[in-house]
Amino acid sequence: MSASNTSLRRRFVVLVSGRGSNMRAIVQALRDRKLPGEVVAVVSNNTQAAALDWAREQGLEAVAVPHKEYASREQFDAALADAIDSYKPDYVLLAGFMRVLTESFVERFNGRLVNVHPSLLPAFPGLHTHQQALATGVQWHGCTVHFVTPVLDHGPIIAQGVVPVRSGDTPDMLANRLLELEHIVYADVVQWLAEGRVRLDAMQRVHVDGVDCRAFTLPS
């Protein structure tokens, strides 16, 4: 998506599985900053997700596509993709969506599917990233907002946030500190997307018009 045509109002569908704290940060950023974009639906694989209740309280469309009702990942992903497409989104934002997506799903939304991962990719893909960081002894940990590809926790990096690893940190302490930064990074990325400033070059590297550095730290 190029920086041209910034008068467009971009449509976002957000996928969640739990409480949806990143989803809340996205919705609030779009509203508070008066950006040319809106969350047109929040979709979850979990009927009990707290994120759905919050979204409905905000007047947002919120629906569940329960994965347990489908016999295979492929069937679930096809139903999920159909549900998403009914809202005609410009971008699909994964915000704590705890499902591994099939290649066909990812290809269907190629270039429009964005995720936040709690590590400085390519380090620590997969689960338990905070435990991995502490076990490895790294002094910096972080999060990555990236375009999704069929390779798990891989894809062109849009922005990253970095926090120091402190003596005495536990996985929960590190996760809580990082989550605060995730909200900041993801909100700014959504602003760039809403304003049409994000583009991929021929080498599949991300560029954001008007932004020279896409690395974040917590405010001091």
Q: For residue 37, tell me if it sits in a domain.
A: yes
Q: For residue 5, tell me if it sits in a domain.
A: no
Question: Which pLDDT score, from 0 to 100, does residue 7 have?
Answer: 55
Would you say 101 and 148 are in contact if contact means Cβ atoms under 8 Å apart? yes
Q: For residue 33, tell me if it sits in a domain.
A: yes
pLDDT tens digit sequence for 156-194: 999 999 999 999 999 999 999 999 999 999 999 999 999
Q: For residue 97, tell me if it sits in a domain.
A: yes
Q: For residue 209, tell me if it sits in a domain.
A: yes
Q: Which residues are catalytic?
A: 117
Q: For residue 123, tell me if it sits in a domain.
A: yes
Q: For residue 46, tell me if it sits in a domain.
A: yes
Q: Residue 106 belongs to what domain range?
A: 10-217
The count of structural domains within the chain is: 1
pLDDT average, residue stretch 39-47: 98
> What CATH code is carried by the domain that includes residue 89?
3.40.50.170
pLDDT at 8 over 60: yes
pLDDT average, residue stretch 6-32: 94
C-alpha 161: how far from chain center:
13
**Alpha-carbon distance 156 to 207, whole Å?**
10
Question: Which pLDDT score, from 0 to 100, does residue 48 have?
Answer: 97
* Backbone φ, ψ for residue 202 (5° rounding): -65, -20
pLDDT average, residue stretch 131-152: 97
pLDDT average, residue stretch 103-129: 97
**Alpha-carbon distance 97 to 140, whole Å?**
25
Using a pLDDT cut of 90, give the percent of the chain over it.
95
Burial class, 11, CB count within 10 angstroms (exposed 0-12 / middle 13-18 / buried 19+): middle
Cα end-to-end span (Å), the chain: 33
pLDDT at 100 over 50: yes
pTM: 0.95
pLDDT grade for 5, boundaries at 50, 70 and 90 = very low
User: Which pair of structure tokens corresponds to residue 110?
Assistant: 């190629």
Which residues neighbour 70 within 8 Å (Cβ) at sequence distance 6 or greater?
Answer: 76, 79
**Alpha-carbon distance 113 to 164, whole Å?**
29
How many CB atoms sit inside 10 A of residue 144's CB? 24
Question: Which pLDDT score, from 0 to 100, does residue 16 have?
Answer: 98
**Alpha-carbon distance 125 to 190, whole Å?**
22
Q: For residue 90, tell me if it sits in a domain.
A: yes
* Among candidate residues 84, 20, 22, 21, the one with its CA nearest the CA of residue 51: 20
pLDDT at 26 over 70: yes
pLDDT tens digit sequence for 199-212: 999 999 999 999 99
